Amino acid sequence: MLSNRQHIVKRSIARHLPVDNLSRKPPDLTHDADFPPPPPMPTLARMTPQPNPEAGAAVKAADRDHVFHSWSAQELIDPLAVAGAEGSYFWDYDGRRYLDFSSGLVYTNVGYQHPKIVAAIQEQAAKMTTFAPAFAIEARSEAARLIAERTPGDLDKIFFTNGGADAVEHAIRMARLHTGRPKVLSAYRSYHGGTQQAVNITGDPRRWASDSGSAGVVHFWAPYLYRSRFYAETEEQECARALEHLETTIRFEGPSTVAAIILETIPGTAGIMVPPPGYLAGVREICDRHGIVFVLDEVMAGFGRTGEWFAADLFDVTPDLLTFAKGVNSGYVPLGGVAISGAIAETFGKRPYPGGLTYSGHPLACAAAVATINVMAEEGVVENAARLGADVVGPELRALAERHPSVGEVRGTGMFWALELVRDRETREPLVPYNAAGEANAPMAAFAAAAKKGGLWPFVNMNRTHVVPPCNISEAELKEGLALLDAALSVADEHTR
Ligand SMILES: Cc1ncc(COP(=O)(O)O)c(C=O)c1O
């Protein structure tokens, strides 16, 4: 383990020193990293979409004929044909532009088509497009080094995967082999990926159809004061009771059967429930006491999303394994991974790790990660997310809650916010029932349609909309989006009592 002091030094390097080791450029220290200049605004000329409805119709027709989409009844969907994207915007073939408040699937942390990342991918393609995972490759080595430099504590070895779900699969495999124990504890109201083990760990309805019933997973309740399972009225009560519930669950499952506890540091798709102070430290302590591996899933919350490089930094907690994907390279080329502690890496020092992927640490994906991390450091993207979250998004969403009866709760940090929409603020009845579809989901569908009509692409899940734009969004763009959200919420208000 690193000492606290080493940990602080490592994190201060991560936060404040722009790193550009591939090109060996000296760091740009011309601006104060605490008050970075706003990221450059894309020029309007480059962003003016050129309408081409015929091309759009062809794209759409081939999609409808041949593309089988995720999580969907294929005949009931109507995917938008997208012609282009830049920065925080994308546009369709009719020339209609949308401000993307969803960052794709919460992964374009530095927006679309960042020129430095596109150039890095092009350069890597020209130099070495691909190479097998058993070799030491410059882009792979450098990506691992830059990531390890930023992860908390002694999470200094990086196993690369193709995305988030397989990162979770491997983290769980490592935990089981390290402890020799079978079970995994994970939270209801969580998402950990769509592959077989990851979806069985997931605590939302997407698991149900694939629940093997024998995946060795036990679900428990994590803190969520607004809809407390513990009859809590304060954060302190929620924290203490959630920890007591977890401890009891472990006691009754048998501590010697539990390999890992996996949590999203801040649950993302499930509702951005920022854990109360002390909760994650409490889970850490429980894991230590019972010899359980603590896995934090930062696939969505990592790489600047919360206004820190990793959400774990907000709580000063170091897990034994940390999964990442998405923001690591703004999703430009598929990449994920597991950051591994010294003790777990040691388990596989002399004994082979029984797992691998053809594309583990793919050079194109790793070159994109190197460029993304350097861009984030040079352009103060993490600081931008923290500042705009605290100064703009938080206050403006709370002001929206004052005006709109449909807003039950506002919660979040950085560029990671949720509005919980309700029919009735007193009873907290959700605007649509849990897991609603079709007619039952009509109020949320009407809200989303109104936002899109206004030019805002929202993230919508169940009775929530999440404000999760790129972490390098400008203040002006953010305010434009919040004004469009304000207008769309009037449609949600029509469904309140
Ligand atoms: C917290 C978390 N873990 C895992 C995943 C799965 O990642 P992927 O879709 O890249 O497999 C996601 C995806 O949204 C996620 O949010």
Q: What is the pLDDT of residues 245-293, one digit of tens each?
A: 999 999 999 999 999 999 999 999 999 999 999 999 999 999 999 999 9
Please give the average per-residue pLDDT across 312-322, as a whole number. Answer: 98
Cα(275)–Cα(473) distance, integer angstroms: 25
Which pLDDT value is given to residue 420? 98
Pocket lining: 300 vs ligand 1, CB cutoff 6 Å: yes
* Structural contact between residues 172 and 183, judged by C-beta atoms closer than 8 angstroms: no
Pocket lining: 468 vs ligand 1, CB cutoff 6 Å: no
Indicate if the alpha-carbon torsion angle 227, 229, 231, 235 is positive or negative: negative
Q: Which residues, 6+ apart, have CB-to-CB distance to 242 below 8 Å?
A: 221, 222, 223, 230, 279
* Structural contact between residues 406 and 489, judged by C-beta atoms closer than 8 angstroms: yes
Q: Which residues, 6+ apart, have CB-to-CB distance to 300 below 8 Å?
A: 106, 107, 164, 264, 268, 269, 326
Maximal CA-CA distance, the chain? 64
Please give the average per-residue pLDDT across 476-496, as a whole number. Answer: 98
The letter for the amino acid at 148 is A
All domains of the chain, ordered by start, with CATH?
A: 74-110+380-493 (3.90.1150.10), 119-378 (3.40.640.10)
What number of CA atoms fall less than 13 Å from residue 10's CA on the CB side? Answer: 24
* Structural contact between residues 147 and 335, judged by C-beta atoms closer than 8 angstroms: no
Q: Summarize pLDDT for 426-437 with one digit per residue, the tens.
A: 999 999 999 999
Q: Summarize pLDDT for 88-141 with one digit per residue, the tens.
A: 999 999 999 999 999 999 999 999 999 999 999 999 999 999 999 999 999 999
Q: Summarize pLDDT for 202-226 with one digit per residue, the tens.
A: 999 999 999 989 999 999 999 999 9
Q: For residue 492, report the distance from its CA to the centre of ligand 1, in Å.
A: 28
Question: How does 384-410 read in b/e, with b if 16+ C-beta sit within 10 Å?
Answer: bbbbbbeeebbebbeebbeebbbbbbb
Which pLDDT value is given to residue 49? 82
Pocket lining: 264 vs ligand 1, CB cutoff 6 Å: yes
Which pLDDT value is given to residue 172? 98
Which pLDDT value is given to residue 47? 67
Which pLDDT value is given to residue 345? 98
Pocket lining: 458 vs ligand 1, CB cutoff 6 Å: no
Please give the average per-residue pLDDT across 315-333, as a whole number. Answer: 98
The letter for the amino acid at 456 is L
Cα(238)–Cα(277) distance, integer angstroms: 10
Percent of the residues in the chain that have a pLDDT greater than 70, as a whole number: 91
Q: Summarize pLDDT for 397-431 with one digit per residue, the tens.
A: 999 999 999 999 999 999 999 999 999 999 999 99
Q: What are phi and psi of 336, to 5 degrees?
A: -150, -175
* Structural contact between residues 110 and 117, judged by C-beta atoms closer than 8 angstroms: yes
Instruction: Indicate the pTM of the whole model.
Output: 0.91
Helices (H), 294-431: 312-315, 342-347, 363-378, 381-388, 394-403
* Structural contact between residues 407 and 421, judged by C-beta atoms closer than 8 angstroms: yes
Pocket lining: 193 vs ligand 1, CB cutoff 6 Å: yes
Q: Summarize pLDDT for 22-78 with one digit per residue, the tens.
A: 333 333 333 344 444 444 444 444 567 889 999 999 999 999 999 999 999 999 999
Q: Is the pLDDT of residue 15 over 90?
A: no
Q: Is 48 in a helix, a strand, or coil?
A: coil
Q: For residue 424, report the distance from its CA to the centre of ligand 1, in Å.
A: 32
Which pLDDT value is given to residue 39? 47
Element (H, E) at 423: strand 416-424
Q: Summarize pLDDT for 369-391 with one digit per residue, the tens.
A: 999 999 999 999 999 999 999 99
Ligand 1 site-directed mutation target among 184, 186, 192, 461, most atoms within 8 Å of CB: 192
Closest CA to 260 of 308, 316, 220, 313: 220
Report the mean per-residue pLDDT for the chain.
Answer: 92
Pocket lining: 191 vs ligand 1, CB cutoff 6 Å: yes
Element (H, E) at 491: helix 475-493
Ligand 1 site-directed mutation target among 191, 322, 333, most atoms within 8 Å of CB: 191
Looking from the CA of residue 106, the nearest atom of ligand 1 is 14
Which pLDDT value is given to residue 95? 95
Please give the average per-residue pLDDT across 328-356, as a whole number. Answer: 98
Which pLDDT value is given to residue 33? 41
Element (H, E) at 457: strand 456-457
